[in-house]
Structure 1
Amino acid sequence: MEFVEWYPRGYGVGFKITSKILEVQSNYQKIELYETEGFGKLFVIDGTVQLVEKGERSYHEPLVHPVMLSHPNPRKVLVIGGGDGGTLREVLKHESVENAIMVEIDEKVVEVSREYLKIDGGLLERLIRGEEPKAKLIIGDGVEYMKSHKEHFDVIIVDSTDPVGPAKLLFSEEFYKNAYDALDEKGLYITQSGSVYLFTDEVLGAYKNMKKAFDKVYYFTFPVIGYASPWSFLVGVKGDIDFMKVDLDRAKTLDLEYYDPERHETLFQMPKYVRDLLEGKGGS
């Protein structure tokens, strides 16, 4: 058995499958879980790879720690999406965090992740029982939640699906302006923004929209296991935070496998033609 996620132009990322664990249709999407030959469990939503068990930190670490270590004192954190628990798990590694809220619209994602995927180390169970003192799980629309909490968060992390189809709203100018308003006087916003080579137009569109909303915008890439890498991330800055610098002393307290804070500058290696497009210099 094989599972292949097909990207535009006939490009695919595939895994050898030893068994299918489950397939369930939620109110929002089709959720599938497989056992792979060499990467543990494979989590799929609407035919797209969300993560593989042995390698998921190659996504969650660059999504979380660069912004958390760049912010001088990240106490209040909002996670939109991320129902598998991996993003919030990484957020709570930071001792400065006092209040972290995860808003996931699909309760079934949380249920499947808690019962079968289990990359969260028991976090989802503790959230459901109300036994996690620094964090809270809300089943609901993260976009609407963000609108009602102005100037509230130090860091906002959007762990969404790819910037195509229905998720395109999460990469709109209006959404970014709402995110800007939801940040405190100084704050950082981050989102994954798709495959650099295969979603180039979507990355460019999201970058341009973000520049209309934030004081400064950064882009970086990271090789993510299971994705059509290099995978892109966009960071919006409110205030005078320097995203090019991270707190290496705080980084020493973290257990990291993929993202290396001491080599933070290597994040910003974008292919030249994409960088030229992002910076308005044309390109092939």
Structure 2
Amino acid sequence: MEFIEWYPKGYGVGFKVVSKITEVESEYQKIELYETEGFGKLLVIDGTVQLVEHGERSYHEPLVHPVMLAHPNPKKVLVIGGGDGGTLREVLEHKTVEKAVMVEIDEKVVEISMKYLKIDGGLLERALKGEEPRAELIIGDGVEYMKSHKDHFDVIIVDSTDPVGPAKLLFSEEFYRNAYEALGEKGLYITQAGSVYLFTDELLDAYKNMKKVFDRVYYFSFPVIGYASPWSFLVGVKGDVDFTKIDLDRAKDLNLQYYDPERHETLFQMPKYVRELLEGKA
């Protein structure tokens, strides 16, 4: 057996599959979980790879730690999406965090992750039960939640599906404006933005929309296991925060496998033609 995610132009990322663990059609999407031959469990939503168990940190670490270490004092963090629990898990590694709120719209993703995937180490269940002092898990609409919490968060992390189809709303100018207003005086916003090579147009659109809203916008890429890498990320800045510089002292407390704080500058490597497109030089 095998699972292949097909990207544009006939490019695919595939895994040898031992078995299908479960398949659920939720109110919002089709969720599948497989056991692979060499990467543990594979989470798939609407036919797209969300993560592989052995390698998921190659996505969650660059999504979380660069912005957390660049912010001078990230106390309040909002995670939109992230139903597998990996993003919330990484956020709570930072001792500065007093409260992390995760808002996931699809309860089924959380249920499957808690029952079968378990990369969160029980964090999701504790947060749902109110037994995790620094974390709150809400099943609901992250957009609406953000609108009702203006000037509130230090860091906002959007852990969503790809910037195509239903998730396109999360890459719109209106959404970014709501995020900007939900950030405090000094704030950082980050989102994944798809494959550098295969979703280039979507990356450009998201970047242009963010530039209309945030004080500064940064782009970077990272090789993510299971994705059509390099994978792109976009960071929006509100106020006086320099994303090119991070707190290396705080980084010493983190158990990192993929993102290397001492080589933070390497994040900003981007293929020349993509950089020129982003900067409007092509």
- After TM superposition, the score normalised by the length of structure 2 is 1.00
The residue that corresponds to 1:266 in the other structure is 266
Q: Which amino acid aligns with 1:198?
A: L
The residue that corresponds to 1:136 in the other structure is 136
Q: Quote the offset at 1:102 in angstroms.
A: 0.1
Q: Quote the offset at 1:127 in angstroms.
A: 1.0
**Residues 186-229 of structure 1: per-residue CA shift (max 9 Å, x gap):** 00000000000000000000000000000000000000000000
The residue that corresponds to 1:39 in the other structure is 39
**Alignment partners' CA distance in 2, 1:151 and 1:128:** 25
Q: Please list, as runs of the form range in 1=range in 2, the aligned pairs for 1:126-205 lying within 5 A after superposition.
A: 126-205=126-205
For the 8 Å contact 2:221–2:268, the answer to whether it is kept is yes
For the 8 Å contact 2:187–2:239, the answer to whether it is kept is yes
- Which stretch has the larger CA shift, 214-223 or 120-129? 120-129
**Alignment partners' CA distance in 2, 1:165 and 1:23:** 21
Count matched residues. 282
**Alignment partners' CA distance in 1, 2:145 and 2:106:** 14
Q: Quote the offset at 1:125 in angstroms.
A: 1.4
Gaps of 5+ in 2: none
The residue that corresponds to 2:60 in the other structure is 60
Q: Please list, as runs of the form range in 1=range in 2, the aligned pairs for 1:91-110 lying within 5 A after superposition.
A: 91-110=91-110
Q: Quote the offset at 1:273 in angstroms.
A: 0.1
**Alignment partners' CA distance in 1, 2:129 and 2:238:** 35
**Alignment partners' CA distance in 2, 1:156 and 1:109:** 20
**Alignment partners' CA distance in 2, 1:241 and 1:125:** 34
**Alignment partners' CA distance in 1, 2:66 and 2:185:** 19
The residue that corresponds to 1:239 in the other structure is 239
**DSSP-derived class of the 1:22 partner:** strand
Identity %: 85
Cα RMSD, aligned residues only: 0.4
**Alignment partners' CA distance in 2, 1:271 and 1:39:** 28
For the 8 Å contact 2:5–2:12, the answer to whether it is kept is yes
Q: Quote the offset at 1:98 in angstroms.
A: 0.2
**Alignment partners' CA distance in 2, 1:224 and 1:209:** 24
Q: Which amino acid aligns with 1:123?
A: L
**Alignment partners' CA distance in 2, 1:50 and 1:89:** 16
For the 8 Å contact 2:128–2:138, the answer to whether it is kept is no
**DSSP-derived class of the 1:119 partner:** coil
**What stretches of structure 1 move > 4 A for 4+ residues in a row?**
none
Q: Which amino acid aligns with 2:187?
A: G
Q: Which amino acid aligns with 2:108?
A: K
The residue that corresponds to 1:77 in the other structure is 77
**DSSP-derived class of the 2:181 partner:** helix
Alignment partner of 1:87 is 2:84: no
Q: Quote the offset at 1:240 in angstroms.
A: 1.0
**DSSP-derived class of the 1:124 partner:** helix
The residue that corresponds to 2:254 in the other structure is 254
Q: Please list, as runs of the form range in 1=range in 2, the aligned pairs for 1:11-30 lying within 5 A after superposition.
A: 11-30=11-30
Gaps of 5+ in 1: none
The residue that corresponds to 1:9 in the other structure is 9
- After TM superposition, the score normalised by the length of structure 1 is 0.99
Q: Which amino acid aligns with 1:26?
A: S
**Alignment partners' CA distance in 1, 2:45 and 2:186:** 34
